[in-house]
Amino acid sequence: MQTISTSWDDISCNRTIEMDVTCKITDNDISIVSITPTRVITRCDRGQADRIIVVHTPTGRQHLLTRIDMDSLRSSIAGRKLATTATR
């Protein structure tokens, strides 16, 4: 198992959710064991960071987990895995 720090852009709410993802990566599959949202970065109309909110309560983390698109998160992690493998 390994833990990866990554982010997901919640375009509909104009924010980025940063998180730590613990996962099992095999040759053919990525199994997400746990996700811990750590920060939310809200963006102004020009796309610049407007506000950074640290997520430290279980309720806040649970709310953000309902927003994350798991398929795009898995694709992002798979892309990182391929990039890491290609540079070795």
Does some domain include residue 87?
A: no
pLDDT at 17: 92
Does some domain include residue 86?
A: no
Does some domain include residue 54?
A: yes
Does some domain include residue 21?
A: yes
The average pLDDT across 58-86 equals: 76
pLDDT at 86: 41
| pTM for the structure as a whole | 0.77
Dihedral angle over CA of 2, 34, 18, 77, nearest 10: 50
Total number of domains in the chain: 1
Return the ∠ at Cα 58 (arms to 53 and 61), rounded to 5°.
50
Gap between the Cα atoms of 16 and 13, Å rounded: 9
Average pLDDT, the chain: 82
Domain that holds residue 6: 2-81
27 pLDDT band (50/70/90 cuts)? confident
Does some domain include residue 20?
A: yes
Does some domain include residue 88?
A: no
Does some domain include residue 45?
A: yes
Is a pLDDT exceeding 70 seen at residue 88?
no
pLDDT at 76: 78
